[in-house]
Amino acid sequence: MEPPMLPRESGRFVAEWSQDVFVEEEGVQKVAEMLYNLRHGDELTAIGWEMANPLAPAPTSDQALNWVFVVDTMNFSFWPEKESEQCEVTFNGTTYTGYMTLCAAIARAMEEGVPITDPKFFSQMSVEELGHVLRSDNKTPMPMLQERHQVLTEGGRVLLENGGSFRSFISKAANDARKMVELIVEKIPSYRDEATYEGRRISFYKRAQILVADFWGVMAARGEGDIVSMDWLTMFADYRVPQALVYLGALRYSDALLQTLKNGELLSSGDRREVEIRGCSIWSVELIRERLCQLMQERDGQTCSVNSAIIDFYLWPYAKQHHKEMAHIPIHHTRCVYY
């Protein structure tokens, strides 16, 4: 069987054929200008990873790398059935929702002495044990507990078969981001984020790419971030960053798609419209990055070191911080293990 197109090529292909999602040149320019104005700050550097992951263990320990694996392996589908019924987890006096409930739950378990970052433990933990770790403060549980248990124990077994830690496993890819993604996708089935579009096999690899980017973020924070081919990574196609891209004008949805999303219709994984949202998100960020690099070269005479992962590291918290202003733009809802 022919292998799927890689994420960047997939994004370009989807954008060329898309019927309901469109990349807008004016919005691409606007976002590039916005990022250009941040070029001297920490937001567009690997330091941004630490800022975005305040509940992670200190990056100086290899426990932080196993933490990244545990969190990214279960990093999917946090949206609530009803906006008023959010899963919540409180840790150190702060109550978290969304993706941060997972981070808070893992931090709480570590404080309680649960060895949740040890592959020997999480590779064979029971559904009930994981349910206790991920317990909510209220009656709304974290969605897809069975699926989270399946992918976490599966991933833990892969680590045990490859040296017993995420670092020993990923070291087989020799500090090459592309090889890391390929290794993860080859060895761990739940990371094979692929679809068929216009008769072609395509890929997004959202969680595999963010796992590599998070590994890079930890290593950079400890002064060891010399991973090659980071430019190979794309943005991480989820449901929150596309909303930000629409808000900023880099993406536009058709009236029919907007109405579908406003009606709360669930899109299945692989649905044409879901694929178009994700694929066009990838391609719009590629164009934003390209334009940002042009601006830095033209205005400053500087080579651009910003990659698509860093742009995603900026846009995801941006979406969270501006969620009230973006409330009129619906996010798409897809229950799956890929994002």
5-54: pLDDT as tens digits: 999 999 999 999 999 999 999 999 999 999 999 999 888 877 666 777 88
What pLDDT score was predicted for residue 221?
A: 85
Kindly list the distances between the CA atom of residue 317 and the CA atoms of 128, 210, 322, in Å, as whole numbers in the listed order. 32, 14, 9
- For the segment 81-100, the average pLDDT, to the nearest whole number, is 94
What pLDDT score was predicted for residue 7?
A: 98
- For the segment 81-94, the average pLDDT, to the nearest whole number, is 93
Question: Which residues participate in catalysis according to the annotation?
Answer: 238
pLDDT (tens digit per residue) in 218-239? 998 888 878 999 999 999 999 9
What pLDDT score was predicted for residue 48?
A: 63
- pLDDT interval class at 177 (50, 70, 90): very high
Least confident of 48-62, 102-116, 191-205, 316-330: 48-62
What pLDDT score was predicted for residue 84?
A: 86
Whole-number Å distance between alpha carbons of 248 and 236:
17
Whole-number Å distance between alpha carbons of 82 and 87:
10
Handedness of CA 115, 118, 121, 125 (dihedral sign): positive
Neighbours of 276 (CB within 10 A): 24
Whole-number Å distance between alpha carbons of 263 and 48:
35
- For the segment 119-142, the average pLDDT, to the nearest whole number, is 98
Query: Is the pLDDT at 142 greater than 90, yes or no?
Result: yes
Q: What is the mean pLDDT of the chain?
A: 95
* Domain extent listing, the chain: 1-54+177-339, 63-164
Strand partners, 252: 22
What pLDDT score was predicted for residue 222?
A: 86
What pLDDT score was predicted for residue 324?
A: 95
Check if the beta carbon of residue 331 is closer than 8 Å to that of residue 239: yes
Side chain identity at 196, as an amino acid letter?
T
What pLDDT score was predicted for residue 124?
A: 98
**Backbone phi and psi for residue 235, each to the nearest 5 degrees, phi listed first:** -70, 170
Q: State the SS3 of the chain.
A: CCCCCCHHHHHHHHHHHCCCEEECHHHHHHHHHHHHCCCCCCCCCCHHHHHHCCCCCCCCCCHHHHHHHHHHHCCCCCCCCCCCCCCCEEECCEEECCHHHHHHHHHHHHHCCCCCCCHHHHCCCCHHHHHHHCCCCCCCCCCCHHHHHHHHHHHHHHHHHCCCCHHHHHHHHCCEHHHHHHHHHHHCHHHCCEEEECCEEEECCHHHHHHHHHHHHHHHHCCCCCCECHHHCCCCCCCHHHHHHHHCCCEEECHHHHHHHHCCCECCCCCHHHHHHHHHHHHHHHHHHHHHHHHHHHHHCCCCCCCHHHHHHHHHHHHHHCCCCCCCCCCCECCCCCC
- Cα angle, residue 216 at apex, residues 211 and 219 outer, rounded to 5°: 125
